[in-house]
Structures are given as C-alpha cells and as structure tokens.
C-alpha cells in the first residue's frame, strides 16, 4: 500500500487546502496529514492560528480524501514522521519548492502548484474590511 504524507497548518480551511489534499490522495492508497501545532505556528508565522490545533485536526480528519491526521510539533521532525508513518511520498505545495528535497533519500518528494488567488491571509484581510 502506497502511503502519502503531507504537512500544513490548514487554518481557516479553504479550497486551496482541499485541492492539494485531493491531489495528494490520488498518488497513493493512504493519505496521512501532519497538522502544525499552535506552538509551531507561532514560531513559524509569529501569530496564533485563528482555529485551534484540535479544531484544525478535526476539520482535516473529516475529509473523505484523508485517512488520518497527527500533530506536527516541529519542522525538524519531518524525517522522523516520514519513517514513523512509512511514507512513500511527501507532497507539498510549490511555495515550499526545493525546501524538502533533502528527504528524497527517504521517500519521493512531490510539489504541486498552489491554487491561485486564495490564502488564509487574504481571507483574513477580506473579513477585516467588513
């Protein structure tokens, strides 16, 4: 069974998040998603996500294309997570292009083009104007 792994915050879940998960699922038989913890997000982006880690994990876990989720607590743990879930392929959006090539000794690394014109940041900006 081919296992696919991907990572993300998936805050204020939107169509770009759904599209990459649907595309990732098609590469194999099992899709595992690492959802970034609140603490990791504060460290990465300097702000807490709008939705908590447990809400974000529940949303992603409920999708038809996702088999299971886990909490991604550290960016340095990627190799450990890939081994733990025996992933054959790591999928990320191309905003991360090249950044995970160093894991190609462990699994195939695939970058998909981002869905244009949608992001959590732009949604937050639009809502602020209301």
The residue ranges that bind ligand C2G (CB under 6 A) are 7-10, 16-17, 20, 36, 72, 75, 92-93, 95, 114-115, 118-119
Residue closer to ligand C2G, measured from CB, 59 or 88: 59
How far apart are CB 64 and ligand C2G at their closest, in Å?
17
Burial letters 15-53, b for 16+ CB under 10 A, else e:
ebbebbbebbbebbebbbbbbbbbebbeeeeeeebebeb
How far apart are CB 44 and ligand C2G at their closest, in Å?
7
- Between CA 94 and CA 113 the distance in angstroms is 5
- Between CA 74 and CA 123 the distance in angstroms is 26
129 - beta bridge partners? none
Closest residue to bound ligand C2G by CB: 93
Residue closer to ligand C2G, measured from CB, 95 or 101: 95
How far apart are CB 61 and ligand C2G at their closest, in Å?
15
């Amino acid at each position: 069974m081919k296992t696919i792994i991907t990572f993300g915050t998936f805050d204020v879940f939107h169509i770009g998040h759904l599209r990459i998960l649907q595309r990732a699922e098609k590469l194999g038989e099992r899709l595992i998603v690492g959802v970034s913890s609140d603490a990791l997000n504060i460290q990465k982006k300097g702000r807490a996500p709008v939705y908590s880690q447990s809400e974000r994990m529940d949303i992603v876990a409920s999708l038809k294309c996702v088999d299971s989720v886990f909490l991604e607590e550290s960016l340095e743990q990627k190799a450990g997570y890939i081994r733990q879930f025996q992933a054959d392929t790591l999928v990320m959006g191309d905003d991360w292009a090249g950044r995970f090539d160093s894991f190609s000794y462990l699994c195939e690394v695939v970058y998909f083009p981002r869905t244009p014109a949608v992001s959590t940041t732009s949604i937050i900006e639009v809502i602020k104007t209301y």
